[in-house]
Structure formats: structure tokens, C-alpha cells
Structure 1
Amino acid sequence: MTAPATNQRRSMVLLRPVPGTSPIHELWAGTKLIVVALIGVVLTVYPGWVPIGLVALLIVMTAWLAHIPRGVLPTVPRAVWLLLLLGAGTAALAGGTPFVGVGSAHVGLGGFLNFMQITVLSIVLLGLGGLVSWTTNVAEIAPAVATLGRPLRWLRIPIDEWAVTLALGLRAFPMLIDEYRVLFAARRLRPRPEPTTRRERSRRRRADIVDMLAAAVTVALRRGDEMGDAITARGGVGQIVASPARPGRADAMALLLVVAMCALSVWVEVYTPLATSKH
């Protein structure tokens, strides 16, 4: 018997909730969307280390409460680490405050710290989106969007149609990914003669791209037709945005916690620099 491979690469798991239940799973989908919007606005206006650290702490605590396993995290390719090292080295050449004395020289760490701040901010935002994906059923997002956008109906904005489009896109995305993986696997398994010249390899590459695009469009059209028939059989698009789920006491507590965290982040970013500058 052969030993199982321990270094097998894990792909990104999105739009598929982690099995099980938890206080985070039971929250209303609209509450999670509001939390993501609030945190996104705060990190856009005040992308400092304190807001990033507080959001990262919130993500870790929420993942612990939701019982998110480490297996949902993808394997980072080595090329990504090399690009990060290259970017950090290039940014470090920009210098800037603060300066660190290395022997008789003064090295500026401003560019390196800015690069690290942007990198950590990107990782935190990706983790926030992944956490919502791992704890929320795709079918609950469209009704939540329709409920949150109900005031926009007074402006004659077709919020229900937008919610239906979002729901169909979220439901079709995982299916299309699986279909494309099957197509790529079948393409590799098909026996073909190996090209001998550079011109033949280039021609083979262009032909492969055209064939895969045509197959992908055909699969998408077939899936769309099947989904349309299923929606018609279940009562039309109105059933997609219809859901009795509404926010409860736990949602109010979660929103209060996130609002308090955002207020603390803004207070630290606004008043701490002013207080230090006066001294």
C-alpha cells in the first residue's frame, strides 16, 4: 500500500457553506452583508494598522465560533510567495520614515511597511469575504438583498430583478467551475500527436484555446437552459427572492459589536494622530 500524499494542493472553496451549525451560520444573511459593507467602508477610509488588526481579530473569533476548519484554506502556490518577496524588496527600495540604523547607514522602512500594510489589508478583506461564503447559504443572499433594497423601490429601481440576477450568478458559478474542470481534464486525457516544431506548437495552442472557449460557451448555455426550466417549474423568479427569514436579537447584537469596533477604529485613527501631534 502506498502512503497518502500529504502535500496535495487544496483549491479555493467558495460559495459553499461549511456543513454544520453555529451562531454565525444562524445569522441572517442581510446582517452579514451589512457587516461586510461597514467594514469595507471603514477600511477604505481609514486603512490603518489598528482597524486592520481589529478586523483580523474579528475574523479569527468569528471563524472559531463558526467552527471553520483549516482545510477550507487554499494552498498558496510558490509563485505567489516569490511575487510577494519581489514586491516587498522593490517597495523597500523606496525608503521613507521610519529609519533604522544599520551600522553607519540609515535604512528607511516606509515603503516596506506600506507594502506590508496593503498586503495584510488584502488578506483581511479576502478572509472576510471567505468567512461570509463559508457560513451563508447561497439561496439566502438574494432574499436578503431584496429586503435590504426595499426602500430603493420608491425610486423605481428594479431591486428584485437585481437580486434575482445575483442569485442566479451565485448559483451558476460553482456549477460552471465544476464543468470547466471536467472539460480541462477531458482535454488532457484525449490522445494527440506531439507537435515537433515551434509553429505547430503555437498553432496547437491557439486551437486549444478556441476549442475550450467554444466548449465553455456551450456548457454555459446548456446550464442556463436547464436552470431556466427549473425556475419555471418552481413558480418563476419571484420564488427566488421570497424568504421568511428576518433579523433577530442575535443579529442586533452582532451589528452593535461591529459598529462599536468600527467606531473604535475611527476614533483611534482620527484622534490619536491629533493627540500625538499636539505633544
Structure 2
Amino acid sequence: MSNAQRRPVVLLRPVPGDTVIHRLWAGTKLITVLALAVLLMFYPGWLPIALVTLLVTAAVVLAKIPRGALPSIPGWLWLIVLLGGVTAAFAGGTPIVDLAGIELELGGLLKFLRITAVSIVLLGLGALVSWTTNVAEIAPAVSTLGRPLRILKLPVDDWAVTLALALRAFPMLMDEFSVLYAARRLRPRLRAQTRRERRKQWIAEVIDLLAAAVTVALRRADEMGDAITARGGAGQIAAAPARPGVADYVVLAVVTVVCGAAGYLEAASFLGTT
């Protein structure tokens, strides 16, 4: 697949739809991500990975995420994964497999595969939340979930507003940087003759690109500040009314059962082997 046909990574932009996953409260999705991440952090076994994978797959099916939303994986990434697997295989360890009189220690390879599987599952979980959640719903959810912290006089609303602005600015700045990079490639350049000239030319291009990126970011920040002021100030960002519904409690109950069952089975398996 050529670079022109390669599907880019699309995050922080929800896939259009009106499914049960799209209608869930943003706080429910954040709690789910946190709970499943903690589960895989403390119990990174194959059974919890399988249960979380099943849960994420069911959510993807219910959300009707199209295959085109998935980014294309470049070949160099597969090469890195393969190199990491080969390197980890040299660590050895149990289990040991006897293949035609040759003992193969697969412990290191299995650990590498397990870590890779956990990373893929967590990335898929984060992408699912990104594809089914409007960025404007994040700040009110964070403000509601952080309400108990206000007893400690912590600026929860300010944190929520900062997070919302960062999430809104990220896709916008990525588009701007892509345009700047494309414009830089279209600029005519003198062909450097020596290595020193090529190095100086590269440094000069990086400085020009960074200066242009800072200028674009400041201009966008000024425009966003004017828009926020016109809409009533930053406090309105975290003040949108949103509360969990029946579907949210069902999802939280399912996640609780999955986390409890996976933790219990992993603990029982560990105690059984000791």
C-alpha cells in the first residue's frame, strides 16, 4: 500500500452515529477506561486480556465503528514488533518446549506477546472512547467526577477546562502542522554539496518550521480565546448538564463484574500455583 493510500490515525474526532455507545455519558467511558487499565496493570494475564478484548470488541460492534476508521499499520512497525519478539525470545524461561530434541524456552517471548497484547487492547479502548465521544462532553464529565476533590479546595473546574481546551486544540494543531509540513516540502531548496552544508540546511529548516508552528499555535490560541469570551467565558465549558442514565449503570455493572471475575480468577490461579 502506497503512502497516498494509507489511512491516517484519526483520533479525538467522533465517528458519526447514534448508537448506545455514542449515547453513554462521557464519565462512564472514563471510569471504564480507568477500571480496565488498572485491571490490566495489576493482572496482566491472558484471561483478563481475553475478557477485556471481548468487552472492547462487543463495544466496537455495538458502536458500529467502520473498518475505515482503523489506521493503516506501516511496515516498519511490524518490523519493530518482530525484532522485539526475537530479542525477547533470547531471555528464555519457562515454559520449555521440546521440539525434535531441541529445548526451546518460550518464557521471554510469551511475556513480550502479553505486553504487546495489553498495549493493543488499551490503545483500542482509548480509540473507541475517542470515536464515540464528543470532545465537548469530556470537560463536564471530568468536573462531575472530580466533585469530591473540591472538598480539598482543588481547582477541578480549571483542570476540566484545561483538558477540554487541550483536546479541542490537538486535532486543529495537527492539521495546521500537516499544512506547514506540506508547504515546506513544496519550497524550492538549493542542493547542498557537502555534509556540513546539508546539516546547516536541515537545522535552518527545523528552526523555520518550529517558528511557524509557534506562530500558528499562538494565532489559534488567540482565536479560541475570543470565541470562549464571546460564549460566556471558560466556566461554560465545564458547565454543560450531563448525568448517567440507565445504560450507564448497566455498563458500569458489566465492567465491575468483568474486573471482579478476572481479578478473582487470576488470584485463584496464582494461589493455586504457589
Measured against the shorter chain, the TM-score band is over 0.9
**Cα distance in 2 for residues equivalent to 1:275 and 1:123:** 29
SS class of match (2:97): strand
SS class of match (1:174): helix
SS class of match (2:174): helix
- Please give the residue correspondences for 1:5-24 in structure 2 after superposition, counting only pairs within 5 Å: 8-24=5-21
**Cα distance in 2 for residues equivalent to 1:267 and 1:160:** 37
> Which whole-Å deviations, capped at 9, do the CAs of 1:146-166 have from their partners, x for residues lacking one?
001011111000000000000
- Confirm or deny that 1:41 pairs with 2:34: no
Counterpart of 1:196 in structure 2: which amino acid? Q
Match for residue 139 of structure 2 among 139, 142, 151: 142
Match for residue 158 of structure 1 among 155, 158, 164: 155
- Confirm or deny that 1:83 pairs with 2:102: no
> Which whole-Å deviations, capped at 9, do the CAs of 1:67-113 have from their partners, x for residues lacking one?
00111111111111111111111111111100011222211000000
Counterpart of 1:221 in structure 2: which amino acid? L
**Cα distance in 2 for residues equivalent to 1:118 and 1:21:** 34
**Cα distance in 1 for residues equivalent to 2:185 and 2:233:** 39
**Cα distance in 2 for residues equivalent to 1:238 and 1:151:** 18
Gaps of at least 5 residues in structure 2 are: none
- Confirm or deny that 1:58 pairs with 2:63: no
Percent identical pairs in the alignment equals: 62
- Alpha carbons of structure 1 residues 182 and 31: separation in structure 2 relative to 1, 3 Å: same
- Confirm or deny that 1:26 pairs with 2:23: yes
Match for residue 109 of structure 1 among 79, 99, 106: 106
SS class of match (1:106): strand
SS class of match (1:107): strand
**Cα distance in 2 for residues equivalent to 1:105 and 1:177:** 52
Residue 230 (structure 2) aligns with: 233
**Cα distance in 2 for residues equivalent to 1:95 and 1:109:** 6
Counterpart of 1:112 in structure 2: which amino acid? L
- Confirm or deny that 1:188 pairs with 2:185: yes
With the length of structure 1 as denominator, give the TM-score of the two structures. 0.96
The offset of 1:23, in angstroms, is: 0.2
- Confirm or deny that 1:94 pairs with 2:70: no
> Which whole-Å deviations, capped at 9, do the CAs of 1:117-166 have from their partners, x for residues lacking one?
00011000000000000000000000000001011111000000000000
**Cα distance in 1 for residues equivalent to 2:164 and 2:126:** 16
Residue 207 (structure 1) aligns with: 204
- Alpha carbons of structure 1 residues 7 and 190: separation in structure 2 relative to 1, 3 Å: closer
**Cα distance in 1 for residues equivalent to 2:16 and 2:93:** 48
- Confirm or deny that 1:123 pairs with 2:112: no
Residue 256 (structure 2) aligns with: 259
CA RMSD of aligned residues (A): 1.4
With the length of structure 2 as denominator, give the TM-score of the two structures. 0.97
The offset of 1:212, in angstroms, is: 0.6
The offset of 1:274, in angstroms, is: 2.1
Compare 99-108 and 262-271 and name the one that shifted more: 99-108
> Which whole-Å deviations, capped at 9, do the CAs of 1:19-44 have from their partners, x for residues lacking one?
11100000000000010111111111
**Cα distance in 1 for residues equivalent to 2:4 and 2:58:** 28
Match for residue 247 of structure 1 among 244, 247, 250: 244
Counterpart of 1:144 in structure 2: which amino acid? A
Gaps of at least 5 residues in structure 1 are: none
Superposed structure 1 runs of 4+ greater than 6 Å apart: none
SS class of match (2:103): strand
Residue 197 (structure 1) aligns with: 194
Counterpart of 1:145 in structure 2: which amino acid? V
The offset of 1:245, in angstroms, is: 1.3
**Cα distance in 1 for residues equivalent to 2:110 and 2:169:** 40
- Alpha carbons of structure 1 residues 6 and 177: separation in structure 2 relative to 1, 3 Å: closer
